[in-house]
């Protein structure tokens, strides 16, 4: 009979840190902090703790995320493992979650969680988030929903979730879509699930992808800088529904001529970019130039997707546009 084991893979973050009470600063400590949370998981055994890496999440890289995906797959292929929980720092958690969501094809639950308060702070949220995540990973109703983020009693889909507050324990939200489920004392309750499972081959990502946030009166200096430094793709957070200041256009033309894909998202956190406005710098003209329009992703996630799909870019923007339509 299949066991119902959950593997907790630790990567560091605030959940594995403590506060220096004299200096009021938070610092990384030994991974034993997470081992000390094992008694909270006694009712949900078997649980295996795997210390993969111990870094603050701003130190996370595409290469480490790729190695994490390979490491996870070894467990997901094990019939005795019913699900995976990954503890992670919150600053880049959404990016790792989406990266894994694009590359992991298993139906088994994969859950990311962390903490906004370190292990010895008053009201530390790490233990409850960890327990809830293990419960979600064990629950059969969590299967087939892609990578999940469990935080503050809510379950979010990796595609939609984002960090919205610098310090609040309810920082993870899914603008326009909301959480897909809730963790209660009695059980796991899902209200809906993503309609799209968007998966790609597990190959090393292209880390040379830039990200630019457009603003009033902006020019194309940053675009030229990325090109001159051999970046192979650029994501631009555009104004509104997908428009840019006219001074950015020459840089975009140069990038497209050099077969460097430009992916457009909105700096607004709700809605989609569309080729609606037909003026200099408007979405209609950007589309004609060869800019790729993304389907509702934020800038950091569009960057992750371009890292993952870049190797599929062969004949022009049409190759990538079909992937960013998903």
Give binding residues for substrate as ranges: 57, 90-91
Annotated binding site: 57, 90-91
How many angstroms separate the CA atoms of 285 and 293, rounded? 12
From 87, 90, 92, 309, the catalytic residue: 90
197/178 Cα distance (integer angstroms): 18
Reading the block at residue 325, the tokens are 């339509």
Catalytic (active site) residue 113: no
Closest of 198, 158, 176 to residue 301, by C-alpha: 158
Tally the residues of the chain: 326
Is 90 among the residues known to form the active site? yes
Point out the catalytic residue in the list 10, 11, 14, 33: 14
Long-range contacts for 122-125 (Cβ within 8 Å, ≥24 apart)? 123/169, 125/152, 125/169
CB 148 within 8 A of CB 110: yes
Angle at 92 between CA 90 and CA 94, to 5 degrees: 85
Structure tokens at 35: 């081992």
Active site residues: 14, 90
């Amino acid at each position: 009979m299949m066991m119902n084991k959950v593997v907790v893979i630790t990567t560091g973050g605030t959940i594995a840190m403590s506060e220096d009470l004299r200096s009021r600063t938070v610092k990384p400590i030994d991974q034993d902090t997470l081992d000390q949370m094992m008694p909270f998981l006694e009712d949900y055994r078997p649980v295996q703790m795997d210390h993969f890496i111990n870094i603050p999440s701003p130190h996370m890289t595409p290469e480490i995320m790729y190695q994490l995906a390979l490491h996870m797959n070894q467990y997901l292929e094990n019939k005795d493992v019913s699900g995976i929980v990954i503890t992670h720092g919150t600053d880049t958690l959404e990016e790792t979650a989406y990266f894994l969501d694009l590359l992991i094809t298993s139906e088994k639950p994969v859950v990311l969680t962390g903490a906004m308060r370190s292990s010895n702070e008053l009201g530390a949220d790490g233990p409850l988030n960890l327990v809830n995540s293990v419960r979600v990973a064990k629950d059969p109703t969590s299967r087939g929903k892609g990578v999940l983020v469990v935080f503050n009693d809510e379950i979010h889909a990796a595609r939609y979730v984002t960090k919205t507050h610098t310090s609040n324990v309810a920082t993870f939200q899914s603008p326009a879509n909301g959480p897909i489920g809730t963790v209660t004392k009695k059980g796991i309750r899902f209200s809906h699930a993503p309609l799209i499972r968007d998966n790609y081959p597990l190959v090393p990502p292209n880390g040379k992808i830039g990200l630019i946030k457009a603003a009033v009166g902006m020019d194309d200096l940053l675009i030229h800088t990325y090109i001159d430094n051999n970046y192979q793709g650029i994501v631009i957070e555009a104004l509104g529904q997908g428009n840019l200041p006219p001074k950015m256009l020459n840089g975009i033309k140069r990038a497209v001529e050099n077969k460097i894909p430009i992916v457009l998202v909105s700096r607004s956190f709700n809605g989609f970019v569309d080729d609606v406005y037909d003026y200099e710098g408007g979405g209609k003209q950007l589309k004609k130039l060869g800019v790729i329009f993304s389907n509702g992703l934020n800038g950091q996630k569009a960057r992750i997707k371009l890292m993952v799909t870049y190797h599929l870019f062969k004949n022009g923007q049409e190759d990538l546009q079909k992937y960013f339509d998903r």
